[in-house]
Structure 1
């Protein structure tokens, strides 16, 4: 056989193997008990919380924070167990040019103080390996938690489906066999002043996958939020939903699934379920929660069930999923009133972004023959990081919010996500809270929260093409 043929065959195999691996991993099922939805529960205990950063009448940026205070309260109130699942839990940012409150250290101190007060309290903290720059180093605050007896679980991302198959096929075929290393000689892109990292860390990061859930659970309550306890995220605008009752048990099952496939001790979760302080209840609110792809099913059901005398209101950090966009257009065709508040996608921890995906998606929707109303959240360097959809009917409000951006990666069983859905009577306290929140932002009552669409509109073929490629192939972080 000619030498050139041998080289050709070898090169072909080197390319074919990753393509086969990518195909298998792309279509593989999710781990057991992932992509789940609970049954619907009734309760009188539902709370809506939000953080907001705004521009006051003098043009000065001001921040009103409530969600972390609720997290601290749940830590204080925990007596039997505490489970936290959060993706970004660090102080990674450029400390030379930016300055943020020590959110991650404050949360660490709160947990350590609680553990010192109650040494027998079982605490499980589930997080994403991004906080160790993919196993390159362990930050001091995470070491302190482990040393204090907190069970720290780093999500095994290799068990998740690959949203970036063109790259992940090569990674799984070749790069992952390099393993991990604590050696560092490259600048840390997440924190330039932090520990140096290595090529293996960056190779892992380029898979663009994450445990993106944001949940806090104790024996009484559960909180689902869009917030990250990350210093550089301290001023982001976020939302949260808190409830109690038998649904807490199902939340524990969902978190146990992550611990299970990540190699942690799941025996504690059986004990936790015996310690839940709840009874079967009735109430005016219906609540259920969903994870991963089940979030998309519920979102699409809400949109598809909206009628021409009803209104959909969305508040989103990212909107890019093509199925959701198609459903929104169909709802517009049916005469559904629709409003969107979108992040401009221009700020990311001191770095400037290009407006993708929200700007090309907004341009697509506003150019539709029956366009929605769109406003941009006015940023002062932070992000409008909320992720929710609200349907207003004659008799009730249905609100679906949590960690999931409305993107392919977040909704199609790739990232790990958690949302909660609340159905409330139109005249209830919850309904008044969520509709009031939206109206204040939409009308700029008392401050400047949002901008007219025209102030940040952009029609760019290049960005539209870029967005469509990134969304379909997973070649992005959204």
Structure 2
């Protein structure tokens, strides 16, 4: 090779090296910025603790007497109350729901939650044209821009204000992928004629490649809440037909906490280019109320949980009913409570099924094993007997001799839920240990833990015995690289 060619090759190599280094620097800068950037104003809301005498618990349970689908029983309370709240509303309805559609492939006769919610909201608006009726939802229901769902079409035709949450302003929870997405793909948008199958169901509208690329960022408005002048109901369940038989829990409260919910939801609407001002209620606080209630979203959920679990010691109780658990701070807090002498009992979904598709047991299987081992068997774990659907509950309950602390709503115990990535919403409740609400909670957990009238839960060993070392390795890599769906 002559000297001229050598110089040309050397120059070309230097240019390519510079370009590669610049790309890497830009990539790292984008990853760091979008992982830690400021949140939209009003997100990560830490509400005021108000007093009220009125807090109600609603539950959904699906169960059988054995491990088969024969004789399945569905006890469904939550959305019956949601629909009733809409019917009774006289001043406004504001709702925020993550999954809101009727698409599914399973051969089951699920309740028509999406259509019923659509009909109730549309009817309310048509009967009361001047009443604010607002729905906030996640772009998953529009295929991330590939189509507009039939539910959203019907609501808009009825005059309901629909806000599809903007996800790009939120922080990136999968930075390795999202850095590449933001550099190469984000600018092209998602609209267009879809041609790829929809992961929701075979009969759901097809999606574009660009929508799939956005989906892989795995971020969401995961909230599940409804507010009227009557009260707020904060839920772990979605108005999604295929989720209709999941196990869920919801709490309803009245008073000024309604305005905290409206303020927090207004913030989502504002940054998503929806209505900038939501209605408010004139509800007054009862300073002598039996219960304290507080609306918290995103990271404040974690901060209060760590404080409340940290109060548990000798002779106290800590209960969890949880769909996903993996957040290291929560695991350490639970182990600490057990070491201080608290009785820690956890009911987990086995993470083996998602809308008819088999899952690997991550993250709950390896986390359950870790909690049992690291606590030296002080922490007790059972898995829900999820014959159909999932144990989708997100409930933490701490009780000492005089007081109980409850946190329930949309948030799983994971980084994505608790570290200001997803939009999440929980209702935190302080209750006397001898109150009717605590008695109801005790009955709920006793029924499931002790299988009082059906086979609700299974021994942890029954599930963990079949969990492989390879799955543990996958779990470790997922956590290290932040490439999870939970």
RMSD value, Cα: 1.6
1:449 is displaced (CA, Å) by 0.6
1-structure distance, mates of 2:108, 2:84: 29
| Mapped partners of 1:162, 1:333: distance in 2 | 35
Measured against aligned partners, the alpha-carbon deviations of 1:332-383 in whole angstroms (never above 9, x if no partner) come to 2212111000000001000000000000000111122243111110011310
Within 5 A, what are the aligned runs for 1:86-235? 86-94=97-105, 97-235=107-245
- Which moves more between the two structures, 31-40 or 292-301? 31-40
1:30 aligns with 2:39: yes
Alignment match, 2:5: none
TM-fit CA distance, 1:399: 1.2
Query: Are the aligned partners of 1:398 and 1:424 in contact in 2 as well (CA < 8 Å)?
Result: yes
Q: CA contact under 8 A between 2:138 and 2:221: conserved in structure 1?
A: yes
Count of aligned positions: 473
Q: Which residue in 1 is equivalent to 2:484?
A: 476
Distance in 2 (CA, whole Å) between partners of 1:473 and 1:50 is: 36
For the residue of structure 2 that corresponds to 1:63, the secondary structure is strand
3-state SS in 2 of match to 1:79: coil
Q: Does the 8 Å contact 2:313/2:341 carry over to 1?
A: yes
Do residues 84 (structure 1) and 92 (structure 2) align? no
Secondary structure, counterpart of 1:47 in structure 2: strand
Q: Which has the greater radius of gyration?
A: 2
Mapped to 2, the partners of 1:423 and 1:210 lie a distance apart of 29
Structure 1 partner of 2:30: 21
Whether the 8 Å contact between 2:313 and 2:338 is mirrored in structure 1 is no
Q: Residue deviations 1:149-187, cap 9 Å, x none?
A: 111001110110111100111111121011122211211
Partner of 2:458: helix, strand, or coil? strand
Counterpart Cα distance in 1 of 2:194 and 2:293: 47
Q: Distance in 2 between matches of 1:382 and 1:182?
A: 33
Name 1:363's counterpart in structure 2. Answer: 369
Matched position secondary structure for 1:367: helix
- Kindly report which structure 2 residues correspond to 1:48-447, keeping only aligned pairs within 5 A, or say none: 48-56=57-65, 60-94=71-105, 97-267=107-277, 269=278, 272-273=279-280, 275-278=281-284, 280-368=286-374, 369-447=376-454
| C-alpha distance 92-147 of structure 1, shift in aligned 2 (>3 A) | same
Moved more, 450-459 or 438-447: 450-459
Q: Structure 2: how far apart are the matches of 1:469 and 1:359?
A: 15
Match of 2:454, SS state, is: coil
1:7 to 16, 21, 39: 16
| Aligned counterparts of 2:13 and 2:257: Cα–Cα separation in 1 | 64
Q: Look up the SS of the partner of 2:45 in the other structure.
A: coil
Secondary structure of 1:423's partner?
A: strand
In structure 1, runs of 5+ residues without a counterpart are: none
Residue pair 1:348, 1:381 contacting (<8 A) in 2 also:
no
Task: Tell me the TM-score normalized by structure 2.
Answer: 0.94
User: C-alpha offsets along residues 419-445 of structure 1, whole Å, 9 cap, x if unaligned?
Assistant: 111111122111111110010000011
Gaps of 5+ in 2: 1-9
CA contact (8 A) 2:51 2:285 kept: no
- SS, match of residue 144 in structure 2: coil
SS in 2 for 1:158: coil
Question: What is the alpha-carbon distance in structure 2 between the residues aligned to residue 356 and residue 384 of structure 1?
Answer: 14
CA distance in 2, matches of 1:156, 1:334: 44
- 1:24-73 Cα offsets, whole Å, 9 max, x none, are 11111222111121121111000011000011379522111000001011
